[in-house]
Amino acid sequence: MTEDYNFYLDNQIPEEERRDVAFQTVNAIRESVTLAKNTTLPITYEFAFNIIYDLDPKLYNAIIILLTSKNEIVKFYTEKAKILQVKPVELIEKELEELEELLIPVDKEDSFYLRKRKFGLIAAKEFFTPRVQSEHKSLSHDFYLSSRDDYFGKPLYQNDEYKDYKITDNKLLRLRLLHPDKDEAILGVDLIYEHFDMKLERVRFAHMQYKTWNTNALYETSSTNLIPQIQKMEKHLCKSGFCKGPKNAKRDDYRFPYCSGFLRPTSKLQKSDSKLITTGLHIPICQALKLFKDDKKITKENTRDKSIKGIIFEELFITNIAGSRWIPIDELEKFYVKKKIDSHLNTIRIHAQEVDIYTEEEKNKTR
């Protein structure tokens, strides 16, 4: 893969597959920032687009072109704006305002096409909106994370770009958006989310593999590499002992099992909802493998009692009821070195690191 290679613009790969990966990327960014903000209300698509542009303008432009390449809304407003001699964005914003008013009192079940139209308008607006710089309403750049703690002075990806964002006075989020590799990108978008507690020098995490399914079904034959890839996650995470609780855990401690690897089926773009809630299933890797073995497929029906919906998972992870157990930071470093995760960048798409920071005085009080 050359340095200038752009998966999203590779015409040798079917456009539908590239579009699905682009949509997964946007949703994975939404999920990572939503977790960092400690909220169960997903950030907007506009916000996610801002983040992607901030991380990599070239990648952002490629994603927007791909998402709108067959967007009839773009063509419609291009012609309409030309006739009325106004900017397309002005007309789009007017329709978005009307849609927002219509959607306020309506249930999700009764507004599928309205919300589908809303996403199309948002993507079209991004297409027409020139960006000089990314502006965030509640995230601001913060470039002193690497000087705060030694661990972040030696990033996992030495040659990769990243951005640090300030969530609160005591919380930062480091995001990396990695360019997909030609051979691996079609398989899905991986998200690694890590939560660091620098006061106690520990970390917990969740790895999520996004997969596109058709008609809400994912078959073991959907891809020749689907099962091997999930088995690889099981080998690296589950069989490494991260599913086991801490040795000193009390019997009355309450939480979900310490599963740290999840399969994330997502709908195709043309059938997507405007929120992660409807396509936000989190299926533990062990359960996914069992379903593929027994049923040869994964559906909404057979995962009903074996998965966690997006909005619920976010709340559980935020409150430390779901996800891996806390482990020492140096143990995580050893794990990455042992599994050679830092040398296989084509298996990771988005790496998010939420960091709780403290003053030396606060740390010393804990010690």
Per residue of the chain (367 residues), what is the pLDDT tens digit? 445 677 788 888 888 878 888 888 888 888 898 888 887 677 888 888 888 888 888 888 888 888 877 778 888 999 999 999 999 999 999 999 999 888 877 666 677 788 778 878 888 888 887 654 444 444 554 444 544 445 565 555 544 567 888 888 888 888 887 765 543 443 345 788 999 998 888 999 998 888 877 767 888 877 767 788 888 888 888 888 877 777 766 655 778 888 989 998 876 654 333 333 335 689 999 999 999 999 999 998 999 888 988 778 888 998 889 999 899 988 888 887 776 655 333 444 788 889 887 766 666 665 5
Chain centre to alpha carbon of residue 103: 25
Question: What six digits make up the tokens of 132?
Answer: 């000089």
* pLDDT of amino acid 366: 53
Strand partners, 190: 209
Q: How many whole angstroms separate alpha carbon 140 and alpha carbon 89?
A: 26
Q: How many whole angstroms separate alpha carbon 95 and alpha carbon 119?
A: 12
Q: How many CB atoms lie within 10 A of CB 79?
A: 11
Amino acid, single-letter form, for residue 207: H
Q: How many whole angstroms separate alpha carbon 108 and alpha carbon 111?
A: 5
Q: How many whole angstroms separate alpha carbon 345 and alpha carbon 157?
A: 8
Question: What six digits make up the tokens of 313?
Answer: 């998972």
Q: Which of 72, 23, 30 is nearest to 51 (CA)?
A: 30
**What pTM value is reported for the model?**
0.76
Angle at 236 between CA 230 and CA 241, to 5 degrees: 120
* pLDDT of amino acid 272: 34
* pLDDT of amino acid 343: 38
* pLDDT of amino acid 179: 63
